[in-house]
Amino acid sequence: MQNTKQNSYEEIIVAGFGGQGIMLAGRLLAQTAMKAGKEVTYMPSYGAEVRGGTANCMVIIADEPIASPLVDKPDSLIVMNKASLNKFASRLKAGGLLVMNSSLIDTKPQLDDSIEIIAIPADEIAVELGNKKIANMVALGAYFQKRGILSPDTAAACLPDTIAKRYHKTLPVNTEAIHRGAEFTKDNE
């Protein structure tokens, strides 16, 4: 049931360090899933932990009402730094998908062969686009394209509802980042 458009149940963990826009990425995932008519839950790590360094959130996308919003073994893992990879990689389900920010992760993780890996230089692409902060969107773009449950276009359409109004001038560059991420996946397939 992996990697097909019919995939009706997907658990995702997005992780990185504070400031990488991890929560925003998770919320965009959730918003996009809702727009696509799916059931969805988004659960952030909260409280002191957020400031301690690593930030993560859990998103579940399904066609039926979702039980616990907590993700133990994700189908997909999007990691933006090495600490997060180390923390969560072993929890990936067999046959799962790992999207990792190769700009900040130099080594290839030792994982089960069934796991597909997209190593995307998200920071570099973001810098090329002129805004280092949008590496999260680049990674998401790669994910959308690979997984095929949600489309990059729907995600882009959800940006205005996800990004705070005072940052709306960054909508175009965020949109571009999602598409660049998606193209990267296509080019490497």
Partner 1 sequence: MSERILMCGNEALAEAAIIAGCDAYFGYPITPQNEITAYMSKRMPEEGRVFVQSESELAAINMVFGASATGKRTMTSSSSPGISLMQEGISYLAGAELPSVIVNVMRGGPGLGNIAPSQGDYFQATRGGGHGDYRTIALGPSTVQELVDCMPLAFDLADQYRIPVVVLADGILGQMMEPIVFNKKPRRSLPPKDWALTGAKGREQNIVRSLWLPEGSLEKHNYKLQAKYQQVQKNEVLCEQYEVDDAEIIVIAYGVAARIVRSAVKKARQEGIKAGWIRPITLWPFPTMQIAKAADELSIFLVVEMSMGQMVEDVKLAVAGKVPVVFYGRAGGGVPSVDQVLEKIKQLTIPVKKQ
Does residue 183 bind partner 1 (CB under 8 A)? no
Nearer to partner 1, 30 or 97 (CB): 30
CB 161 to partner 1: min, Å: 8
List the beta bridge partners of residue 62. Answer: 9, 39
The length of the chain, given as a count of residues? 189
Applying the rule CB under 8 A, the residues between 129 and 168 that interact with partner 1 are 161
- The number of angstroms, rounded, from the C-alpha of 6 to the middle of its chain's C-alpha atoms is 19
Span from 41-49, 90-98, 114-122, 145-153 in contact with partner 1 (CB under 8 A): 41-49
CB 156 to partner 1: min, Å: 16
Query: CA of 43: how far to CAs of 13, 30, 61, 122, 183, in Å?
Result: 10, 10, 12, 24, 28
CB 72 to partner 1: min, Å: 6
Q: 7 phi and psi, to 5 degrees? A: -50, 115
Q: What share of the chain is helix, strand, coil (3-state, %, to 5)?
A: 45, 20, 35
One residue of 53, 69, 160, 172 binding partner 1 per CB under 8 A: 69
Span from 39-47, 114-122, 134-142, 178-186 in contact with partner 1 (CB under 8 A): 39-47
One residue of 4, 52, 63, 72 binding partner 1 per CB under 8 A: 72
One residue of 7, 8, 44, 127 binding partner 1 per CB under 8 A: 44
Contact 29, 59 (CB under 8 A): yes
- Give which of 118, 79, 83 is closest to 97, Cα–Cα: 118
Nearer to partner 1, 67 or 164 (CB): 67
The two tokens of residue 56 are: 């993560």
Site residues (vs partner 1, CB under 8 A): 27, 30-31, 34, 39-44, 46-48, 65-70, 72, 161
